[in-house]
């Protein structure tokens, strides 16, 4: 092991970087954030800020001068431009060669296939020139199907569940015939996720497998741990371990999966960073996912991912209107719920579906599915208008 990096650069200044504050403080690390706007959430907690768009490699060159190592809050980067910096000696974790097969959803699918990680069926269409192939491609995948843009989709943006051929045709046209992925629609029983970290020494730490519940393709709730069999747990752990080991990556990954009625586990998507499905770790685990990312990239040993409570759940506070309110009353009502921890990201504007904050509730015993659903309903009733 080399010496520990003390000055950490983070590309991206949203809530994922904002939630690194406690971990950075606990580990005595200096955080410099690259973000386009001085009012972005993480700008308030950073030791230093480099103002620049996420894909602005000139800003990243400035960031590199101030830091020992650079990591990421999101993956909307200009990879070739960063590779140029890497060639000049800038250190990135996760390594850029590990991001390369993951940033484009088609490359990600092919990479998982090469590792024999079970995935839904998929085909790609690159441009208008592929229009003659559209019908055969849809027939091959079958309907309903999922159409995804290959780059830059998040929080359900760029993901469409389509039931008729005409809808596939018109959706792709509306997207300007940009490169897309057509995937088999998985009739899943539940969606699962796991956070997985790997250190510079090659040690891997997996967090509990969780259940995530989406509404309109945006994560709305996470229940930890997921109520699944040992066999399913083993399958998820095997996929996560295979992925991190084969990539030889340093950092933390959020891995989303489908669980089918007959207990098959298929990979859905891989995020090479902290992830919404791991927010519960801030209150429910010995080491939060945010501290874990900082540990990995700075060269420290990884922390324990053990749960401190029998159970926990997280509810996202998503925007339900266009507004500049900071919802003080709603937040106050949530904060007095037993064992509730409210995180407010401090974004100036609310719009439908925007992630404004989240609530974690830790449980001092294991609740039944009905009881958990009741508790979740109690949280959501205080936030979402009826």
pLDDT for the residue numbered 151: 85
Decide: helix, strand or coil at residue 244.
helix
CA atoms within 13 A on the CB side of 196: 24
pLDDT (tens digit, 9 = 90+) per residue, 80-133? 999 999 999 999 999 999 999 999 999 999 999 999 999 999 999 999 999 999
> Average per-residue pLDDT in the chain?
96
pLDDT for the residue numbered 68: 98
DSSP at 207: P
CATH 3.40.50.2300 assigned to 121-184: no
CA distance 262 to 282: 33
pLDDT (tens digit, 9 = 90+) per residue, 250-280? 999 999 999 999 999 999 999 999 999 999 9
Residue 250: CB atoms within 10 Å: 24
The alpha carbons of the chain give a radius of gyration, in whole angstroms, of 21
**Residue 266 pairs with which residues in a beta bridge?**
258
CA distance 152 to 268: 16
pLDDT for the residue numbered 156: 62
Whether residue 2 has pLDDT greater than 60: no
- Angle at 213 (CA atoms; ends 211, 216), nearest 5 degrees: 155
Domain segments of the chain: what residues? 7-92, 121-184, 188-383
Of the pLDDT bands very low, low, confident and very high (cuts 50, 70, 90), residue 152 is confident
pLDDT for the residue numbered 154: 61
pLDDT for the residue numbered 155: 58
Do residues 122 and 97 lie in contact, with contact meaning Cβ atoms separated by under 8 Å?
A: no
Tell me the average pLDDT across 173-181: 95
Do residues 207 and 281 lie in contact, with contact meaning Cβ atoms separated by under 8 Å?
A: yes
Distance of CA 223 to the CA centre of its chain: 16
pLDDT for the residue numbered 308: 98
DSSP at 323: B
pTM of the model: 0.95
Residues sharing a CB contact under 8 Å with residue 102, sequence separation 6 or more, in sequence order: 75, 108, 111, 270, 272
Token pair, residue 50, equals: 């480099």
CA distance 55 to 223: 34
What is the DSSP track for 103-138? SSHHHHHHHHHHTT-----EEEE-SGGGGGGHHHHH
CA distance 174 to 180: 12
Tell me the average pLDDT across 284-310: 98
Do residues 49 and 67 lie in contact, with contact meaning Cβ atoms separated by under 8 Å?
A: no
Tell me the average pLDDT across 307-330: 97
Token pair, residue 191, equals: 């969606």
pLDDT for the residue numbered 216: 82
Residue 4 has φ and ψ, to the nearest 5°, of -80, 135
Do residues 60 and 76 lie in contact, with contact meaning Cβ atoms separated by under 8 Å?
A: no
pLDDT for the residue numbered 1: 46
Of the pLDDT bands very low, low, confident and very high (cuts 50, 70, 90), residue 158 is confident
Say whether 121-184 and 7-92 share the same fold. Answer: no
Whether residue 35 has pLDDT greater than 60: yes
Residue of 65 and 215 predicted with greater confidence: 65
Question: To which CATH superfamily is domain 188-383 assigned?
Answer: ATP-grasp fold, B domain (3.30.470.20)
Of the pLDDT bands very low, low, confident and very high (cuts 50, 70, 90), residue 386 is confident
Whether residue 5 has pLDDT greater than 70: yes
Tell me the average pLDDT across 288-299: 98
CA distance 354 to 43: 19
Tell me the average pLDDT across 196-205: 98
Lowest mean pLDDT: which of 125-134, 137-146, 216-225, 365-374? Answer: 216-225
CA distance 265 to 260: 7
Give the class (CATH, top level) of 7-92.
alpha beta
Do residues 223 and 268 lie in contact, with contact meaning Cβ atoms separated by under 8 Å?
A: no
Do residues 8 and 69 lie in contact, with contact meaning Cβ atoms separated by under 8 Å?
A: yes
CA distance 55 to 69: 17
Compute the Cα dihedral for 36, 39, 43, 49 and give only its sign: positive
């Amino acid at each position: 092991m080399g010496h520990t990096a003390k000055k950490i650069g983070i590309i991206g200044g949203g809530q994922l970087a904002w939630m690194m504050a406690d971990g950075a403080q606990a580990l005595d690390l200096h955080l410099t954030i690259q973000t386009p706007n001085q009012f972005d959430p993480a700008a308030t907690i950073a030791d230093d800020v480099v103002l620049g768009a996420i894909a602005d490699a000139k800003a990243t060159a400035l960031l590199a001068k101030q830091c020992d190592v650079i990591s990421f809050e999101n993956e909307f980067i200009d990879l070739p431009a960063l590779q140029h910096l890497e060639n000049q000696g800038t250190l990135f974790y996760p390594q850029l060669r590990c991001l390369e097969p993951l940033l484009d959803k088609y490359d990600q699918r092919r990479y998982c296939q090469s590792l024999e990680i079970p995935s839904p069926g998929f085909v790609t269409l690159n441009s208008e020139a592929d229009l003659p192939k559209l019908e055969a491609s849809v027939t091959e995948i079958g309907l309903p199907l999922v159409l995804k843009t290959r780059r830059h989709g998040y929080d359900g943006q760029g993901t469409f569940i389509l039931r008729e051929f005409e809808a596939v045709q018109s959706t792709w046209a509306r997207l300007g015939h940009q490169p897309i992925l057509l995937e088999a629609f998985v009739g899943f029983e539940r969606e699962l996720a796991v956070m997985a970290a790997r250190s510079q020494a090659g040690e891997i730490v997996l967090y509990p497998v969780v259940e995530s519940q989406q509404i309109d393709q945006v994560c709305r709730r996470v229940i930890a741990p997921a109520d699944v069999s040992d066999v399913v747990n083993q399958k998820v752990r095997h996929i996560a371990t295979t992925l991190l080991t084969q990539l030889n990556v340093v950092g933390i990954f959020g891995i989303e999966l489908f669980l089918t009625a007959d207990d098959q586990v298929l990979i859905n998507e891989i995020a090479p960073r902290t992830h919404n499905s791991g927010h519960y770790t801030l209150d429910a685990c010995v080491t939060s996912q945010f501290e874990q990312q900082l540990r990995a990239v700075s060269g420290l040993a990884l922390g324990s991912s053990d749960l401190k409570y029998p159970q926990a759940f997280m509810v996202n506070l998503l925007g339900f209107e266009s507004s500049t309110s900071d919802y003080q009353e709603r937040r106050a009502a949530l904060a007095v719920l037993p064992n509730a921890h409210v995180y407010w990201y401090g974004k100036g504007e609310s719009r439908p579906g925007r992630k404004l904050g989240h609530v974690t509730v830790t449980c001092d015993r294991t609740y039944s599915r009905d009881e958990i659903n009741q508790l979740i309903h109690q949280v959501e009733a205080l936030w979402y208008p009826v």
